[in-house]
A and B are shown apart, each in its own frame.
Chain A
Amino acid sequence: NAGVTQTPKFQVLKTGQSMTLQCAQDMNHNSMYWYRQDPGMGLRLIYYSASEGTTDKGEVPNGYNVSRLNKREFSLRLESAAPSQTSVYFCASHTYSNQPQHFGDGTRLSIL
């Protein structure tokens, strides 16, 4: 009963390095999302994918790219990491548009 699985759980990068965060869900959900959570804040939407083959920008997309590889997998890429991207990243998914989103356990990313 995995739900939404994110890898890695922790990562430290140097400024300028690139990295891909992975997310996979086994609930046959159509829509997938990437959020970031900064200290003392709620989550903010980076990118989303309403269905396989489509992706769109959210509230804070600058510095990120995404790929919806198939229905199960939605990856987030940092091409040139910056200290301002130090955060906890959460992937979420849901089925129909009025159903609640389910979250993974997050990737804790530090950029030095």
Chain B
Amino acid sequence: GQQLNQSPQSMFIQEGEDVSMNCTSSSIFNTWLWYKQDPGEGPVLLIALYKAGELTSNGRLTAQFGITRKDSFLNISASIPSDVGIYFCAGPSILPSNSGYALNFGKGTSLLVTP
């Protein structure tokens, strides 16, 4: 699969602070996805981006699809304790015969929020 580089690897912040994380790739993607994984659960989709330059919000979360199509950013404003978890970026690679796509994942950003 294609390598996605996600940073930072981990963040330890206080409740109320804003958070920024990013993801870069050596390849172009036509879609960028951001997932959150809570302990013991599967990844849950936060935001999907389909167009270069697109800026999309979901509550306190805002994500942007980079103009070069090789990067994406996720911001969380006014963090709360339930924001704790691992955040993954993902980009799809089309499978043979256009039969679906495989998600290429970054290694995740682990977020800890103290009250």
A-side residues, CB < 8 A to B, are: 4, 31, 33, 35, 40-45, 48, 50-51, 54, 56, 58-59, 90, 92, 94, 97-98, 100-106
- Contact of B41 with A50 in the complex, beta carbons under 8 Å: no
Q: Which of B12-20, B44-52, B77-85 contacts A (4 or more CB under 8 A)?
A: B44-52
B-side residues, CB < 8 A to A, are: 1, 4, 31, 33, 35, 40-45, 48, 50, 88, 90, 94-108
In the complex with contacts A90-B43, A105-B42, A97-B100 CB distance below 8 A: yes
Which of the residues A40, A41, A48, A90 comes within 8 Å of B100, measured between beta carbons? A48
In the complex with contacts A56-B95, A102-B45, A42-B105 CB distance below 8 A: yes
Cross-chain pair count, CB within 8 angstroms: 71
Which 5 pairs from chain A and chain B are nearest by CB? A42-B105, A50-B99, A103-B42, A45-B102, A31-B100
For B1, the chain A residues whose CB sits under 8 A away are 44-45, 59
Which of the residues B43, B99, B104 comes within 8 Å of A54, measured between beta carbons? B99
For A44, the chain B residues whose CB sits under 8 A away are 1, 105
Beyond known contacts A42-B88, A56-B96, A90-B42: 15 more, CB 8 A cutoff: A31-B100, A41-B105, A42-B106, A42-B107, A43-B105, A48-B95, A48-B100, A58-B102, A98-B31, A100-B33, A103-B35, A103-B42, A103-B44, A105-B40, A105-B41
In the complex, which of the residues B4, B98, B99 has the most CB atoms of chain A within 10 Å of its own CB atom? B99
A94 to B99, CA, bound (A): 12
For A102, the chain B residues whose CB sits under 8 A away are 45
For A59, the chain B residues whose CB sits under 8 A away are 1, 102
Q: Give 9 pairs: A residue, B residue, CB < 8 Å, sorted on A.
A: A31-B100, A33-B100, A42-B107, A50-B97, A50-B100, A97-B94, A97-B100, A103-B44, A105-B41
For B48, the chain A residues whose CB sits under 8 A away are 100
